[in-house]
Structure 1
Amino acid sequence: MDRWTGIDEFVAVATLGSFTHAAKKLNTSVAQISRRVKELEQQLNHQLLTRTTRTLTLTQEGKVFLTHARHLQHAYDDATLALRQRDQQPSGVLKLTAPVMYGEHYIMPMVSDFMRKYPKVSIEMVLSNEQLDIVAMGIDVAIRLGNLKDSSLKARRLSWRNTLVCAAPDYLANHGQPHSLNELTQHNCLIGNSRTWRFLDGGKERNITIHGNLTCNSGWSLLDAACKGIGLVQLPHYYVQEAVNEQRLIEVLPHFRPEPEGVWALYPPRQYMPTSLRLLLDYLAEQFARLAP
Structure 2
Amino acid sequence: MDRWSGLDEFVAVATCGSFTGAAQQLDTSVAQVSRRVKTLESELGYQLLTRTTRNLALTPEGQIFLGHARLLQHAYEDATAALRQRDSEPTGKIRLTAPVMYGEQYIMPLVHQFMCRFPSVTVEMELTNAQLDLVEQGVDLAIRIGQLKDSSLHAKRLSQRRTLVCVSPEYLQQQGPITSIRDLARQNCLLGNAQYWRFMDHGVERHVKVTGTLRCNSGWALLDAAKQGLGVVQLPHYYVQDAIECKELVTVLDDFTPKEEGIWAVYPPRKYLSTAIRALIDFLAQSL
TM-score, normalization by structure 2 = 0.95
Judge which range, 110-119 or 231-240, deviates more: 110-119
Structure 1 residue matching 2:142: 3-state secondary structure: strand
**Which whole-Å CA distance do the structure 2 matches of 1:20 and 1:172 have between them?**
60
Q: Which residue of 1 aligns with 2:282?
A: 282
Which ranges of structure 2 fall in alignment gaps of 5 or more residues? none
Q: Which residue of 1 aligns with 2:41?
A: 41
Structure 2 residue matching 1:190: 3-state secondary structure: strand
Q: Render the CA deviation track for 1:158-194: whole Å, top value 9, x for unaligned.
A: 1100001111111111111121111111111111112
**Which whole-Å CA distance do the structure 2 matches of 1:52 and 1:79 have between them?**
37
**Which whole-Å CA distance do the structure 2 matches of 1:150 and 1:127 have between them?**
20
Q: Which amino acid aligns with 2:108?
A: M
8 Å Cα contact 2:70/2:135 also seen in 1: no
Q: Render the CA deviation track for 1:124-152: whole Å, top value 9, x for unaligned.
A: 21112222233232221111111221342
Judge which range, 13-22 or 95-104, deviates more: 13-22
1:280 offset after TM fit, Å? Answer: 0.5
**Which whole-Å CA distance do the structure 2 matches of 1:69 and 1:23 have between them?**
18
**Which whole-Å CA distance do the structure 1 matches of 2:113 and 2:167 have between them?**
35
RMSD: 1.4
Structure 2 residue matching 1:88: 3-state secondary structure: coil
Q: Which residue of 1 aligns with 2:183?
A: 183
Structure 1 residue matching 2:57: 3-state secondary structure: strand
User: In the alignment, does 2:262 pair up with 1:265?
Assistant: no
Q: Which residue of 1 aligns with 2:91?
A: 91
Q: Which residue of 1 aligns with 2:113?
A: 113
State how 1:54-73 maps to structure 2 within 5 Å. Answer: 54-73=54-73
8 Å Cα contact 2:157/2:265 also seen in 1: yes
Q: Which residue of 2 aligns with 1:228?
A: 228
Aligned residues: 288
Q: Which amino acid aligns with 2:208?
A: I
8 Å Cα contact 2:161/2:263 also seen in 1: yes
Q: Which residue of 2 aligns with 1:126?
A: 126
Q: Which amino acid aligns with 2:129?
A: N
**Which whole-Å CA distance do the structure 2 matches of 1:285 and 1:105 have between them?**
16
Judge which range, 252-261 or 207-216, deviates more: 207-216
1:86 offset after TM fit, Å? Answer: 4.2
1:94 offset after TM fit, Å? Answer: 0.8
1:257 offset after TM fit, Å? Answer: 0.4
Change (3 A) 1:208 1:96: same
Q: Which amino acid aligns with 1:172?
A: L
1:85 offset after TM fit, Å? Answer: 4.0
**Which whole-Å CA distance do the structure 2 matches of 1:30 and 1:248 have between them?**
59
Q: Which amino acid aligns with 1:265?
A: A
1:277 offset after TM fit, Å? Answer: 0.5
8 Å Cα contact 2:187/2:232 also seen in 1: yes
8 Å Cα contact 2:98/2:128 also seen in 1: yes
TM-score, normalization by structure 1 = 0.94
Q: Which amino acid aligns with 2:168?
A: A
Q: Which amino acid aligns with 2:212?
A: G
Change (3 A) 1:148 1:86: closer
Q: Which residue of 1 aligns with 2:249?
A: 249
**Which whole-Å CA distance do the structure 2 matches of 1:140 and 1:59 have between them?**
26
Judge which range, 227-236 or 134-143, deviates more: 134-143
Q: Which residue of 1 aligns with 2:198?
A: 198
Q: Which amino acid aligns with 2:246?
A: E
8 Å Cα contact 2:115/2:121 also seen in 1: yes
Judge which range, 77-86 or 258-267, deviates more: 77-86
Q: Render the CA deviation track for 1:195-214: whole Å, top value 9, x for unaligned.
A: 31110011111111111111
**Which whole-Å CA distance do the structure 1 matches of 2:53 and 2:122 have between them?**
38
**Which whole-Å CA distance do the structure 2 matches of 1:94 and 1:146 have between them?**
23
Which ranges of structure 1 fall in alignment gaps of 5 or more residues? 289-293
**Which whole-Å CA distance do the structure 2 matches of 1:21 and 1:116 have between them?**
30
Identity %: 61
Judge which range, 155-164 or 136-145, deviates more: 136-145
Q: Which amino acid aligns with 2:66?
A: L
Q: Which amino acid aligns with 1:76?
A: Y
Structure 1 residue matching 2:215: 3-state secondary structure: coil
